[in-house]
């Protein structure tokens, strides 16, 4: 690429410029020299023919060597400049071939801030995203296989035991098999919800809704769950933080997932606070629950798919680490943001919806 572009620059730009320059200067010197010696002949009585030829020969000789020397220096500088300009492009070409083969580790080293450096930065950003997506895909496949392996292994073991008459066909055995099947059903339903959340951006039915009403509706459904664990629910609904424009079903799904998380991870006789407030970014809804503090190094990954800060506890509760990932997809589809904070005062999971006018 570098050699082809170098020759294109030389042949297409530099050589014609020097050729035109040489022709113009050559004819200019010939014309000026003729005028000059005509004046000498008229005023100084100088023999013009031989001196004129000697003068033109010397000037032409110097002009040719000057043009050749300038062309050589220009060629050298152009070669160095082209090599410097094309370095990021050559690196991008080589790394693109590796990316096409599945190797996402390569990055372009470009310290300049001109357009080539900006292209290198954009390429590195793209490579980072591709590497993260590939890593997430591999992790997701491994996690799905892990989630499926346990119930399927249990089902296989019990069914083989029943078939060989090693395990008696008691009601307790069938209830255990039913629980394992339900775990598989729940996992499939979670994956379906995640797929629908991924496609939410293209299928949003935005309407003017009452956020407080939706929160109350979900909490009514979960009231028996909170009462069973003797969890106290506190409300802090700020005036002016009620009206939102959103897809009703998808917003209900996000609220349901956050409520479900708050119920699962709040200890018995704990507290859950639900608050809404108006901020510069829109209307913010916060779910705060008491309980153990989430480690700081786990917080950035809580909205990743299949991530669980406490795998054993989450699995016992029947979750697969998809709930918050679904919340993130649904809220971001509405143009909102999500976040988590955790300290000794409790864990706060929040989402913010932008305030929008009702669509026509």
Q: Which pLDDT score, from 0 to 100, does residue 316 have? A: 45
Q: Which two tokens stand for residue 118?
A: 């900006």
How, if at all, do strands 232-237 and 271-279 pair? parallel
Token couple for 14: 């530099």
What one-character DSSP code corresponds to residue 281?
T
Per-residue pLDDT tens over the stretch 331-349: 988 889 999 998 888 899 9
- What tokens were used for 334? 């509405």
pLDDT-derived band at 15 (thresholds 50, 70, 90) equals low
pLDDT of residue 358: 44
What average pLDDT is seen over the chain?
Answer: 77
What span, in angstroms and rounded, lies between the C-alpha atoms of 298 and 265?
A: 15
Query: What percent of the chain is modeled with pLDDT above 90?
Result: 16
Residue 340 to residue 294: CA distance in whole angstroms: 10
pLDDT of residue 43: 59
Helices (H), 48-114: 48-100
* Nearest one of 175, 176, 173 to 151, comparing CA atoms: 176
What is the structure's pLDDT at 1?
46
Query: In this prediction, what percent of the chain has a pLDDT beyond 70?
Result: 68
User: What are 27's strand-pairing partners?
Assistant: none
pLDDT confidence tier of residue 288, bands split at 50, 70 and 90: very high
**What mean pLDDT do residues 291-302 have?**
81
Q: Residue 314: pLDDT above 50?
A: no
Q: Looking at residue 2, what is its pLDDT?
A: 45
| CB contact set of 188 (below 8 Å; sequence gap of 6+) | none
What is the reported pLDDT for 112?
Answer: 61
pLDDT of residue 55: 61
Average of pLDDT values for 216-241?
Answer: 91
CA distances from 261 to 53, 133, 236 (A): 99, 26, 19
Q: What is the pLDDT of residues 55-110, one digit of tens each?
A: 667 666 766 777 777 777 776 777 777 677 667 777 777 888 887 777 777 777 76
**Cα–Cα distance measured from residue 131 to residue 134, given in angstroms and rounded to the nearest whole number:** 5
Highest mean pLDDT among 163-172, 185-194, 262-271: 262-271
Task: Give the per-residue pLDDT at 132.
Answer: 75
What does the alpha-carbon distance between residue 303 and residue 314 come to, in Å, rounded to a whole number?
Answer: 14
pLDDT of residue 344: 85
- Residue keyed to tokens 């729940």: 186
> What does the pLDDT look like over 108-138, one tens digit per residue?
776 666 666 777 788 888 888 888 777 767 7
The CA distance from 356 to 206, in Å, is 10
3-state secondary structure 3-24: HHHHHHHHHHHHHHHHHHHHHH
**How does strand 346-353 pair with strand 337-343?**
antiparallel
Predicted local confidence at residue 38, as pLDDT: 63
Q: Which of 7-16, 186-195, 280-289, 312-321 has the lowest mean pLDDT?
A: 312-321
Of the candidates 190, 146, 221, which has an alpha carbon nearest to the alpha carbon of residue 326? 190
Are 340 and 347 within 8 A, CB to CB?
Answer: yes
Q: What domains, with CATH codes, occur in the chain?
A: 2-103 (no CATH), 132-196 (1.10.287.130), 207-353 (3.30.565.10)
């Amino acid at each position: 690429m570098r050699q082809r572009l170098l020759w294109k620059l030389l042949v297409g730009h530099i050589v014609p410029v020097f050729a035109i320059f040489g022709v113009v200067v050559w004819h200019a010197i010939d014309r000026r020299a003729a005028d000059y010696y005509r004046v000498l002949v008229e005023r100084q009585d100088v023999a013009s023919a031989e001196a004129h030829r000697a003068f033109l020969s010397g000037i032409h000789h110097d002009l040719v060597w000057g043009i050749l020397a300038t062309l050589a220096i220009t060629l050298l500088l152009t070669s160095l400049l082209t090599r410097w300009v094309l370095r990021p492009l050559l690196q991008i070409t080589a790394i693109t071939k590796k990316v096409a083969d599945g190797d996402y580790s390569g990055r372009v080293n470009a310290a300049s801030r001109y357009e080539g450096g900006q292209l290198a930065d954009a390429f590195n950003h793209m490579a980072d995203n591709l590497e993260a997506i590939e890593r997430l895909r591999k992790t997701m496949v491994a996690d799905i296989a892990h989630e499926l392996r346990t119930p399927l292994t249990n089902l296989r073991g019990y069914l083989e035991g029943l078939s060989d008459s090693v395990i008696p066909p008691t009601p307790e055995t069938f209830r255990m098999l039913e629980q394992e099947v339900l775990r598989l059903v729940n996992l499939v339903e979670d994956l379906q919800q995640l797929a629908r959340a991924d496609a939410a951006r293209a299928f949003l039915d935005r309407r003017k809704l009452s956020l407080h009403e939706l929160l109350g509706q979900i909490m009514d459904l979960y009231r028996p769950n909170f009462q069973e664990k003797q969890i106290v629910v506190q409300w802090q609904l700020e005036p002016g933080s009620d009206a939102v424009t959103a897809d009703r079903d998808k917003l209900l799904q996000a609220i349901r997932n956050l409520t479900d998380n708050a119920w699962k991870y709040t200890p018995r006789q704990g507290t859950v606070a639900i608050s809404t407030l108006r901020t510069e970014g829109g209307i913010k809804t916060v779910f705060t629950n008491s309980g153990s503090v989430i480690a700081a190094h786990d917080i950035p990954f809580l909205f990743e798919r299949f991530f669980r800060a406490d795998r054993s506890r989450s699995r016992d509760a029947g979750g697969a680490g998809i709930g918050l990932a679904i919340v993130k997809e649904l809220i971001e589809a509405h143009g909102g943001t999500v976040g988590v904070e955790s300290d000794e005062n409790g864990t706060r999971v929040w989402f913010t919806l932008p305030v929008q006018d009702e669509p026509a």
